[in-house]
Amino acid sequence: MSDVALGFFIALAVGLTGIGGGSFTVPILLLLVGLPAGEAVGTAFVFAGVLRLIAAPFYVLGRQVHSRYFKLLLAGAVPGLVIGMLALRGVAKAENSGIVTIILGVLLTLSSSVSFFPRVQNPRFAVKNSRWLPWLAFPIGVESGFSSAGAGALGTVLLLNYSEMAPRQVIGTDIVFGLVLAIIGSAVHWTLGSISTPILLQLLAGGVPGVIFGCLLARRVPAQKLKAVVAAIAICAGLQLVWSGTRSLAAKQASNSVRMGVSASGVVRP
């Protein structure tokens, strides 16, 4: 499948559910395109930012953004985002991101599964405990900074299951929330030069029409079905991160085994 087609389907998911900008793009860029971790995250940040910039007006004009929850989420997520990006730089240099990626994928999969267990949900939580939203958003910011995933998936899951908002308002709030994080992350990665411009342009060629179509289609999807779609996509995104992290660890272990074998054979490495 071409990068243009991949961009279209990822953007369709973003426009429809608010999820996929980073959760799908990073594993695809790592596994299918073969970009280094830092470059994959940087490219995904810019791609997700452009998609959310296009999608945001559809929800803002439709008054589907909860301004108070949006501000509370940002208060916790922005500091976390900075920490996550700093952690990525350190881990990327050490080539040790596999374990962290697996952990993030497991957390995303488990948290998204809450949507299918009504007894675990608490729609009045945010109303009664809004002071906790910044603290809950902090790890979302860390994950977003580290992997560019999480702002859409975890943010949507949090608001969908623990706030009183309807699914479309949850998606609208999370898209604008993710847009701010994507702008900050994109600016940092652009400064560092960790972006693949050719791949980004191909993704956007399919992504721009895809996100517009997704936003228009979201209006025709019933709320309950939309909630199930959001949860299912988030679970898939989490499993993709687990798969990506497992592949990374396996590759590193194989590389270490080769080095140990060469060293044991007495061959002097440069």
> For residue range 120-139, what is the model confidence (pLDDT) as tens digits?
667 777 778 788 889 988 98
**pLDDT for 113:** 75
Q: Say yes or no to pLDDT of 230 above 80.
A: no
Best mean pLDDT range from 118-132, 203-217, 221-235: 203-217
Contacts 24+ apart (CB under 8 A), 194-197: 194/38, 194/39, 194/41, 194/42, 195/39, 195/42, 195/43, 195/45, 195/46, 196/29, 196/35, 196/39, 196/42, 196/43
Q: Is the pTM of this model over 0.85?
A: no
Of the candidates 77, 80, 25, the residue with the CA atom closest to the CA atom of residue 51: 25
